[in-house]
Amino acid sequence: MRLDIYQVDAFAKELFEGNPAAVCPLEEWLPDEQMQQIAMENNLSETAFFVQTDNGFHLRWFTPTTEVDLCGHATLATAHVIFEHLNYPENEIHFNSRSGELIVKKEQGRLKMNFPAAKVKEAQLPDFLEKAIGVSCQELYRDTDLLYVVESEQQVRDLNPDIRLLAKADVRGVIVTALGNEVDFVSRFFAPNAGVDEDPVTGSAHTMLIPYWSEKLGKKELIARQISQRGGTVYCTYLGERVQLAGEACTFLEGKVQL
């Protein structure tokens, strides 16, 4: 069996920035174990698989070690493949996923993703977490991830967390964020429990970041930068129950998987 595969840099204006994701179009689902093996072999933070349905596409995401409920950058990469390589004739894609309906629009050179907003709730600080992060916590919130607010952008840039200790957190990952110097806010994302020590640009983390910073800054339209080594820019809109994330993508590789 030979499967098409694409590698796409998501939230990137040009190659070698943003977050790389693999995308595999399927005519029908492979066994879960086989999709997990493909993701492990790709060794990227996410591999997306999708199947076309009567009213859109069914989309799933795998890290090298597990299937996840939501992945923003791999959704962006998948929409890029459908629009640019599969010649999808519409300007809006509807995905069915474990996180419900996800909508991606192609507009003015960017892909705009509409996701459910996270329910951001204050959390108590676990006794190990400040030691793991290495920077004092100003505020802490919880949903699928922990949102760890620090004092400055420079602190976020300089982070060198203890990944093994960070894995004690009983969540998917930890988002560390601060007010930005040249953008509205910056962040980094660490998810050792999902097999990703640091993710370059994390769309799903912004479902927590956008409600928090929108309320904090008193504005609905925000520009964010995830300041990992690769880095990426996310254009954000807070819509109340949902959030919109916009970005660009570039194809790095087209190939075949031989099974």
- Domain identity same for 65 and 166: no
| Residue bearing tokens 């570039």 | 250
Q: What is the mean pLDDT of residues 39-62?
A: 96
pTM, 2 dp: 0.87
- Domain identity same for 171 and 88: no
The least confident of 39-43, 143-147, 190-194 is 190-194
Cα(46)–Cα(37) distance, rounded to whole angstroms? 12
- Domain identity same for 107 and 35: yes
- Domain identity same for 168 and 199: yes
pLDDT of 249 strictly over 90:
yes
Closest CA to 236 of 203, 259, 200: 203
pLDDT at 196: 87
- Domain identity same for 6 and 109: yes
pLDDT of 206 strictly over 90:
yes
Coil, strand or helix at 55: coil
Could you give the residue numbers annotated as active site?
46
Q: What are phi and psi of 65, to 5 degrees?
A: -120, -15
- Domain identity same for 70 and 102: yes
Structure tokens at 239: 């819509």
- Domain identity same for 79 and 173: no
- Domain identity same for 134 and 152: yes
How many independent structural domains does the chain possess?
2
Give residue 50's pLDDT band: very low, low, confident or very high (50, 70, 90).
very high
Contacts of 10 (CB under 8 A, 6+ apart): 18, 19, 20, 21, 73, 74, 76, 77, 80, 201, 203, 232, 247, 249
pLDDT at 73: 94
Contacts of 132 (CB under 8 A, 6+ apart): 161, 162, 165, 166, 168, 169
pLDDT tens profile 146-183: 999 999 999 999 999 999 999 999 999 999 999 999 99
pLDDT of 34 strictly over 90:
yes
In terms of residue numbers, what domain contains 181? 121-238
Q: What are phi and psi of 176, to 5 degrees?
A: -110, 130
- Domain identity same for 53 and 112: yes
pLDDT tens profile 84-107: 999 999 999 999 999 999 999 999
- Domain identity same for 158 and 190: yes
Torsional class of 195: left (φ above 0), alpha (ψ -120 to 50), beta (otherwise) = left
Q: What is the mean pLDDT of residues 118-122?
A: 92
pLDDT at 108: 86
pLDDT at 6: 98
Average pLDDT, the chain: 96
pLDDT at 195: 84
pLDDT at 67: 95
